[in-house]
Amino acid sequence: MCGIVGYIGPKRACDVLIEGLKRLEYRGYDSAGVCVYHAGRLHIAKSPGRISELEKKIAEDPAIQCGTVGIGHTRWATHGEPNEANAHPHCDLSGRIALVHNGIIENYAPLKRFLSDHGHVFRSETDTEVLAQLIGRFCQDGAETLEDAVRAALSEVGGTYGIAVMSASEPDKLVVARKGSPLIVGVGSGEYIVASDASAILEHTTNVVYLNDNEMAVVTRDSLRTMTLDNVPVSKEVEQIEWSLEQIAKGGHEHFMLKEIFEQPEVVKMCMRGRVDLRDMRIQLGGLESVTGALLRTKRLILTACGTAWHAALVGDYLFEDLARIPTEVQYASEFRYRNPIVEDDTTVIAISQSGETADTLAALREAKEKGALALGIVNVVGSTIARETDAGVYLHAGPEIGVASTKAFTCQLVVETMVALLLGRKRLLSQPVMEQYLRELAAIPDKMQRVLDKAEEIRKIAEDYVDRDNWLFLGRGYNYPIALEGALKLKEISYIHAEGLPAAEMKHGPIALIHEGMPAVFVTPQGPTYDKILGNIEEVRARRGKIIAVASEGDEGIRSCCDRVITVPDCPVALQPMLTVIPLQLLAYYAAVARGCNVDKPRNLAKSVTVE
Ligand code: F6R
């Protein structure tokens, strides 16, 4: 998704902007650009493709290299193809105002017609240029300051935006505003860095001011003023970002995704720290204390999310019904608000999201709140929009997830769901001995994860042996059915191999027609209530000469006779198995993608944070 960086201070703006844009690369983009003020004019460099292309252009432009105030952008195309003309920053007609924008201006077409009728000429196909020209028009029509013009223009537009604007007429100033797209102002010593994402700021400062929706900020060399879009002053606290630079570097691994897969034992420990209390043998979730009473009265839980987080929600469905006996359903966030959902009294909606910025999940959350549900969040990014709009919630504490394919956030989502289910379960029906057994097992998960990770080499060989197959099936039952879906998603999104995930027994109702000689079928089949049933499904594939790769329990020697390859995971209660069984599938996808020469951390067509509907 698009990324914004802005800088005002004593340093060369282009250095800060480029470095910040590189930190935002993980979000996905297809073009990039910067604008820097120098000697009375705005100087712009833009390029389709990677940031290295933009750097070449900057190297040829001495004026851009001089300025100390500027804005930059990585664009992920929505309106118009990813070319130089459509890349941000965009200017007004005079070329004296420049703007970068994340989000979508929904009424750009009538505004563009209006401006065209009044002599405006457009150089791009973007909705963003319409906003830039509108701001320019308000300046031309007598707005006293840049912020007045921005405010006036924003009152005309519908849709979502995070914007940063600068003007050659007021060169020591950046104006930023947000509605539906995140913006943060980093407060350094003698400098300010504006960004859509904390990772672009961390190099310079950990002091930040978060803008809320419908707020704007005017940043000068020595001041920061925040106000609503209606110009009512808002006083803001400077908050601390907890993530370190080291946390967002690759830490010696070839890819962020691999680093994040291997971090899982550590981050899962972090996620449980202070929450799984083995001394008093209870779960403590400070983020839910204010709503525990309401949660206990809940008659129906709705879990809503997208993609991998939706798979975590499917596991949550089993957890909440099994451990807490609360009727639970899972809804795709993208469908939720369009189906006129039934939200009765005592319904709780939990939005699950790594980024906390996914547009569909946010919209589902807002719909649920509108209908009166208690709205909770299970979110990774602290201070993200979903985290701030929920009534209460639990952070994942998984640290920044940079690889586009979600891995460690997923396992932490499972851990948080388990903790919430146990907390409620204990208050409703679980006996203390059962609770204690779960707590001990949960605490043992990080070491067991490490034992699975120790098999990485073995899994790499399996991936390499089957990487030439174009179609894969992933099958599981019960708690491991969502893991089959997740295994298929991981493989297709980073290796571009077609894969389908299914509850194993569904295979005979149609997909079995796909099985042919040599086709890999990955069965997620640790010991559990459906183990014997799934052996039957394995035989069905074997009879059609498919290749069986099984994720099975340690010590299950019997399964080897009916499988081509077996990856074992340590034993644990069935409810916790997904935290272990997903790891071989993450590694299988990773090594398959590497063997195919794919760009693992930035798969084609994908964005880390999907902030458009
Ligand atoms: C897949 C993946 C996506 C995200 C989905 C939701 O590996 O990462 O499917 O899970 O876009 O994103 P969040 O969790 O940020 O709401």
CA distances from 384 to 59, 198, 208, 583 (A): 35, 10, 13, 27
Distance from the alpha carbon of residue 308 to the mean position of ligand 1, in angstroms: 5
Contacts of 289-296 with CB under 8 Å at 24 or more apart are 290/391, 290/392, 291/374, 291/376, 291/391, 291/392, 292/423, 292/427, 294/348, 294/374, 295/348, 295/374, 295/376, 295/424, 296/424, 296/427, 296/428
Same fold: 255-453 with 456-595:
yes
CATH of 2-243, one of 3.30.1490.20, 3.40.430.10, 3.60.20.10, 3.30.70.100: 3.60.20.10
Which atom of ligand 1 is least distant from the CA of 405? Answer: 7
Query: Is residue 92 classed exposed, middle or buried when 0-12, 13-18 and 19+ CB atoms within 10 A define those classes?
Result: buried
Cβ–Cβ contacts within 10 Å for residue 414, how many? Answer: 27
Would you name the residues annotated as active-site residues?
A: 2, 608
Which amino acid residue places its CA nearest to atom 6 of ligand 1? Answer: 306
What pLDDT is stored for residue 443 in this prediction? 97
* Measured CA distances, 441 to 55, 346, 418, 419, 542 (Å): 51, 31, 11, 12, 35
Output the pLDDT for position 1.
61
- Give tens-digit pLDDT for 145-204: 999 999 999 999 998 899 999 999 999 999 999 998 889 999 999 999 999 988 899 999
% of the chain beyond a pLDDT of 70: 98
What is the model's pLDDT at position 251? 66
How is residue 444 written in tokens?
């043992």
For the chain, what are the domain ranges? Answer: 2-243, 255-453, 456-595
Architecture per CATH, domain 255-453, reads as: 3-Layer(aba) Sandwich (3.40)
pLDDT tens digits, residue range 437-464?
999 999 999 999 999 999 999 999 999 9
What is the position in ligand 1's atom list of the atom closest to the CA of 610? 11
Q: How far apart are CA 515 and CA 89, in angstroms?
A: 51
Looking at residue 425, its pLDDT comes to 97
Q: What is the CA radius of gyration of the chain?
A: 26
List, for the chain, all residue ranges whose pLDDT scores fall below the cut of 50: none
Going by their DSSP bridges, the two strands 471-476 and 498-503 should be labelled as parallel
**Environment class of 599 (CB within 10 Å of its CB; exposed 0-12, middle 13-18, buried 19+):** exposed
243 neighbors 202 (Cβ within 8 angstroms)? yes
Task: Give the residues surrounding ligand 1 with Cβ less than 6 Å away.
Answer: 306-309, 353-355, 358, 361, 405-406, 493, 609-610
The CATH class of 456-595 is: alpha beta
The C-alpha atoms of residue 281 and residue 274 are separated, in whole angstroms, by 12
Q: Which protein residue has the closest C-alpha to ligand 1 atom 7?
A: 405
> What contacts 445, CB < 8 A, 6 or more positions away?
268, 415, 572, 576, 579, 580
Contacts of 338 (CB under 8 A, 6+ apart): none
